[in-house]
Amino acid sequence: MSAGDWDFARGAAEEELGKAYDHRLMVRLLRYLRPSARLLALATALLIVSSLASLAGPLLTGLAIDRFIAGGDARGLLRLCLLWFAILALTALVQHAQVMATNLLGQRAMLRLREEVYRHLQRLPVAYFDRHPVGRLMTRVTNDVEVLNQMFSQGVVAIFGDLFALAGIMAVLIVMSPPLALAAFLTLPLVFLISVQFRGRVRRAFRDIRLAVARINAYLQESLGGIAVVKAFRREERNAAEFAELNAAHRDAFLASVRAFAVYFPLVELIQAIAIALILWYGGGRVLAGALTFGALVAFLQYAGRFYRPIRDLADKYNILQEAMASAERVFRLLDTPAEEEPPTGGPAAAPSWDPRGEIRYEDVHFTYDGATPVLDGVTARIPAGRTTALVGATGSGKTTMAALLARLYDPTGGRITIDGVDTRALPRARLRRALALVEQEVFLFSGTVEENVRLWDGRVTEERLGTAIRAGRADRLIARLGEGLRSRVAERGASFSTGERQLLAFARALAFDPDILVLDEATASVDSETEALVQEALRALLRGRTAIVIAHRLSTVRDADQILVVHRGRIHERGSHEELLAAGGLYARLHRLQFGAGA
Amino acid sequence: MVGAAALGAVFLYLQRWLLIGCSRRIEYDLRNDLFRHVQRLDVSFFGRTRAGDLMARFTNDLGALRDVVGPGLMYAFSMTVTLALSIALMIAIDARLTLIAFAPYPLISLVTFFFSRALHTRSRRVQDAFGLLSARVQEDLAGTRVLRAYAQEDSRALAFRELNEEYLAANMAVARLRGLFIAAMGALAGSGLAIALLAGGRMVMEGRLSLGGLVAFSAYLAELTWPVVAVGFVIGMLQRGAGAAARIDGLLAARPEIAGGPVTARPRPRIEFERVSFRYPGARVDALLDISFRVGAGRTLGVVGRTGSGKSTLLKLILRLHDPSAGRILLDGLDLRERSLSAARAIAGYAPQDAFLFSRSLCENIAYGVPDADPDSVARAASRALLDDDLAHMPRGLATLLGERGVTLSGGQRQRASLARALLLEPDLLLLDDTLSSVDAGTEAAIVRELLPFMAERTTIIVSHRISAVQAADHILVLDDGRVVEEGHHSALAAGGGLYARLHERQRLAAEIEGAG
């Protein structure tokens, strides 16, 4: 076991860099530009104009020397310089517009892509989230899309710009003097070869740097997150050594890139100097021979100086493209993951008028999370409309799963669940879920305000209903205490609320949606006696006149229930009223003693 | 000319390699020092400081500092030389022309400086918007069950669009700035050349300047654009570097844990708490209040109580992850604070409640405290913690990789791995913090049986919410709300009518039902 061979964090950054251009991916990416087709046309036009305009300087200089300075035409020189100023001003305007257009193009495309990925994630089966950590999914929406944005705003369009500038310069040079142009082009293959070489090295170095940074971050996060263990096991020295190793890898990767740049830039400058010397030598001879004007030679030299930047930039763009392809691959793979299927529209209960009375039947329902261990093993039960049914059972007996299946967070692996005789799978999910409210044991609160957490941004929840729900759910006093009432801030994950307080807010949330069917997983955690009393009252308001399934942990809920189902090992083990089951002296009688204290 | 260019190229290479290379090495040393320092900070520091904030010091801030030392210094140096030489040569050609044509150039520096400053604040806005966006996505994915149960996916997607648009707006603000900068640079540098052509051209016509002189002058002027831009950039870089340095300084100024005297431990240590109270920094109530007890050499203490009763805090105090707010803890009769910081850590094997494992192989995790342990003893510790059956089902046995890229262990497996990690130390003092809470009752009983001979030779403190884990202990403390509410031997406590007896009865029934069916 050597200190260096852990290969954690690998994969986060180590996906092999693949092709810089993948036609299939590119075509799919370009589709996101389609809604901005006009903007794309505008950006391209602006790019062409600004590339052309930037070629004006040397040409004007040459002209000024040959025509006006040599001819002593001061007025002509002034006119020409004024023209130059005008062109400069125009170029500035066009360039600014072009940068804005290009960025807007990329940003809009990414806005669309980001939203599509987000919406797709919200439509993926809940089971998908059990297998994929949220942190990794999140980077699809954020980091990967960001890389693509770079490609759109700095890559694709800029490549056109570079190529265009290159072509423009070459065309001007050839028109001015074909033999001299040839002399200037002589060094181009060399620059290109060097750039390719350099590109390869920098690519490897950058990949190593990214990998090193990812590892450093992963290592930091873990060793600082687990600092108590690090200290208890006195790993500080050893961890510092491990960290130094990762840090050294980072430094070396960086040094490799520094060396590559340190060789490349001077080399290109040297070649450029050679090219200029070549032009000066050959062109100077031509000027002396009268075959070339002095001004043309000056213009030539100035153009030659601008030759290399586009070539250098092209090498950079290569990197951007390569990363973008890798990100596109990941994003599209996610988008291609099938979302939850919806039933074909127009089914028996799809009509908006569907108004369930709320009789629920579980018909031989089977379910497993992992494909092997059965969690529900043939549950058959009838939940009568308008009544309260309590589910009772040991931890892990399958109660919570029964609730999750009814709300179709998961679908049964066998059997079916019906509401008023209609298979829940024949209902559009949104319709089904509007008819029922699910209060889970662990209440999830969003960061934002209390009001947002109760009405959940739903416009159909009127002010009035909101107020009624809060009062009926006994959350009014809690909210009044919070200082800013409904506007009070809720921290991330509701950190500032106790379990009991969260329950009250969750009850208010359920009431605000006035569901036909209520599914309630009571919290077991002990709450203080004052809150406990409030929760009891709220519960009664909540259950009145609704079809309710309550996973009951409170004695009163169990006792008042119209029907009690005892769930044991994925099946319904006993059923009946409180008195009947107690009298039967079976599992319920024992559970009852366990949960509500001996002798209760 | 080619000779001069070649010489220039060599120097350019050396300059880049030496200066930038050097800055990378400085960055390396600083980052190592920072890590060593941060590791020595006490545990409560990590509770106070956001992880993301801390990591930013290690990456962004160090990077900004490195830029000052590397590229910052390099550009500062090269631009000074280039500027001085070019201007001198231009003045040699014609002083008046220099004055006229150079006029727009200081503007370039100024524009660059303001650009780089504005860019910094606007980039912040982009980063903030990005942070909000990420946080929202994370929250919505974590709360996806609620959003679905209430069919709020669409309304939430609309809210997401708002953030998405704000992010776009922030990005466009940066783009606008960049666009302005590029446009202004082109116009300013171009005007310099145009002015030179106009004024110089007239001078040529008047015979005060040669045509070659004008061309050379223009060439020098063109060369000046980059150094003048660099002046602005370097000033911006220095400003950011100063901010980064202040933040890194702030981190380095946080005082590390205080190390104490020498390590003098003997096997089977005695532990004593004398009226110990403890309150977490920033908390309103005491986690522990006036706790006194004694664990003799080689004895076993059991601690039970409900969640939040202060059981885990007790062990953390022994390990000096925190120090008591009042009272003292004695190890073999000597106050822990008078000993070396790691005195207790050196003799203790600790299995924490959350069973924190690292993203490395299972083997390396078990050998976390004994990195050069031989494979046999690692395997022995694993089988003591009853991991053998689980190992048989893992693709690569002990070499199986855990964490993000590897296998996710179940709660019970993690706890047993964490237990094996403590056992491998062959510690004199064994501290088990609700180590088997996620393990089923049968397995727990088997592990406890396995551990009994091991514990007989050691001083042990077992913290648990389960009676079964502590009932064999020599002495049991029952904690509630940070106080000792009952203590004694299992049989006496179980027969009494207190919290212990109630917990015992409930757990006995639970075990019965688990076996029923």
CA distances from A418 to A351, A359, A406, B183, B481 (A): 16, 8, 9, 67, 47
Residue A28 C-alpha, separation from nearest chain B C-alpha, in angstroms: 21
Vertex A130 angle, CA A124 and A131, to 5°: 90
Is residue A309 assigned to a domain? no
| pLDDT more than 70, % of chain A | 88
State whether ipTM is beyond 0.85: no
Query: Is the domain defined by B21-116+182-253 classed in CATH 1.10.15.40?
Result: no
Determine contact: A233 vs chain B, CB below 8 A: yes
Nearest neighbour of B9 by CB, restricted to A97, A244, A266: A266
Among A2, A14, A36, A61, which would you mutate to test the B interface (most chain B Cβ atoms within 10 Å of its Cβ)? A61
What would the mean pLDDT of A545-554 be, rounded to a whole number?
84
What would the mean pLDDT of A388-396 be, rounded to a whole number?
83
**SS3 call for A377:** strand
- Please give the pLDDT value at position A600: 34
Residue A51 C-alpha, separation from nearest chain B C-alpha, in angstroms: 12
Does the pLDDT at position A161 exceed 90?
Answer: no
Could you give the CA distance from residue B276 to residue B313 in angstroms, rounded to a whole number? 11
CATH code of domain B271-515: 3.40.50.300
Contacts of A122 in chain B (CB under 8 A): 140, 144, 147-148, 153, 156-157
pLDDT in tens, A480-527: 877 788 888 887 666 667 777 888 888 889 888 888 898 888 765 545
DSSP label of B288: E
Could you give the CA distance from residue A422 to residue B326 in angstroms, rounded to a whole number? 66
Determine contact: B363 vs chain A, CB below 8 A: yes
- Please give the pLDDT value at position B275: 94
Determine contact: A499 vs chain B, CB below 8 A: no
Nearest neighbour of B149 by CB, restricted to A263, A433, A446: A433
Is residue A440 assigned to a domain? yes
Residue B198 C-alpha, separation from nearest chain A C-alpha, in angstroms: 6
- Please give the pLDDT value at position A14: 39
Out of A114-123, A550-559, B254-263, give the one with best mean pLDDT: A114-123
Does the pLDDT at position A238 exceed 80?
Answer: yes
Is residue A303 assigned to a domain? no
A315 or B495, greater pLDDT? B495
pLDDT in tens, B417-435: 999 999 998 889 999 988 8
Q: Which residues of A274-307 are buried (b: 16+ CB within 10 A; e: fewer)?
A: bbbebbbebbeebbeeeebbbbbbbbbbbbbbbb
pLDDT in tens, A354-367: 677 788 999 999 99
Query: Based on the domain organization, do A334 and A455 belong to the same domain?
Result: no
- Please give the pLDDT value at position A431: 84
H/E run at residue A490: strand A489-490
Is residue A9 assigned to a domain? no
Query: Based on the domain organization, do A40 and A172 belong to the same domain?
Result: yes
Domain boundary among A273, A305, A338: A338
Could you give the CA distance from residue A484 to residue A482 in angstroms, rounded to a whole number? 6
Instruction: Determine, for residues B39 and A440 on separate chains, whether the beta-carbon distance falls below 8 Å.
Output: no
Chain B stretch 288-317, residues whose beta carbon is closer than 8 A to a beta carbon of chain A? 306, 316
Determine contact: A48 vs chain B, CB below 8 A: no
Q: List the beta bridge partners of residue A417.
A: A362
Query: Based on the domain organization, do A387 and A466 belong to the same domain?
Result: yes
Chain B stretch 433-452, residues whose beta carbon is closer than 8 A to a beta carbon of chain A? none
Contacts of B403 in chain A (CB under 8 A): 8
- Please give the pLDDT value at position A486: 86
Distant-in-sequence, close-in-space partners of A25: CB < 8 Å, separation ≥ 6: A325, A328, A329, A332
- Please give the pLDDT value at position A495: 64
Residue carrying structure tokens 């060789």: A263
Total domain count, chain A: 3
Query: Based on the domain organization, do A366 and A389 belong to the same domain?
Result: yes
H/E run at residue A576: strand A571-576
> What is the total residue count of chain A?
600
Instruction: Determine, for residues B201 and A99 on separate chains, whether the beta-carbon distance falls below 8 Å.
Output: no
Burial of A389 (0-12, 13-18, 19+ CB in 10 A): buried
Does the pLDDT at position A2 exceed 70?
Answer: no
Among A116, A219, A220, which would you mutate to test the B interface (most chain B Cβ atoms within 10 Å of its Cβ)? A220
Q: Which residues of A64-80 are buried (b: 16+ CB within 10 A; e: fewer)?
A: bbbebbbeebeebbeeb
Residue A555 C-alpha, separation from nearest chain B C-alpha, in angstroms: 15
What token pair was written down for B479? 């904690």
H/E run at residue B162: helix B153-205
Is residue A59 assigned to a domain? yes
Nearest neighbour of A134 by CB, restricted to B38, B141, B356: B141
What would the mean pLDDT of A321-347 be, rounded to a whole number?
78
Residue B251 C-alpha, separation from nearest chain A C-alpha, in angstroms: 14
Task: Name the residue type at position A2.
Answer: S
- Please give the pLDDT value at position A19: 63
Diameter of chain A measured on Cα atoms? 122
Is residue A58 assigned to a domain? yes
- Please give the pLDDT value at position B303: 93
Does the pLDDT at position A167 exceed 50?
Answer: yes
- Nearest Cα residue to B387 out of B366, B404, B367: B366
Query: Whole-prediction pTM value?
Result: 0.73
CATH number, position A149:
1.20.1560.10
Is residue A562 assigned to a domain? yes
Summary mean pLDDT of chain A? 81
Nearest neighbour of A457 by CB, restricted to B9, B156, B509: B156
Is residue A307 assigned to a domain? no
Query: Based on the domain organization, do A246 and A159 belong to the same domain?
Result: no
Residue B497 C-alpha, separation from nearest chain A C-alpha, in angstroms: 12
Residue carrying structure tokens 């650009």: B115
- Let me know: does B340 contact B262? Beta carbons within 8 Å: yes
Contacts of A235 in chain B (CB under 8 A): 368-369
Query: Based on the domain organization, do A108 and A158 belong to the same domain?
Result: yes
Domain that holds residue A60: 20-176+320-338
Determine contact: B198 vs chain A, CB below 8 A: yes
All structural domains of chain B with their residue ranges:
21-116+182-253, 271-515
Chain A stretch 533-562, residues whose beta carbon is closer than 8 A to a beta carbon of chain B? none
Determine contact: A241 vs chain B, CB below 8 A: no
H/E run at residue B253: helix B211-253
Contacts of B27 in chain A (CB under 8 A): 251
Does the pLDDT at position A593 exceed 90?
Answer: no
Instruction: Determine, for residues B157 and A122 on separate chains, whether the beta-carbon distance falls below 8 Å.
Output: yes
| Residue ranges of chain B with per-residue pLDDT less than 70 | 47, 50-52, 258-267, 282-283, 307-308, 403-408, 441, 512-517
Instruction: Determine, for residues B319 and A232 on separate chains, whether the beta-carbon distance falls below 8 Å.
Output: yes
Query: Based on the domain organization, do A231 and A89 belong to the same domain?
Result: no
The helix-helix angle for A294-306 and A308-335 (nearest 10°) equals 30
Instruction: Determine, for residues A92 and B16 on separate chains, whether the beta-carbon distance falls below 8 Å.
Output: no
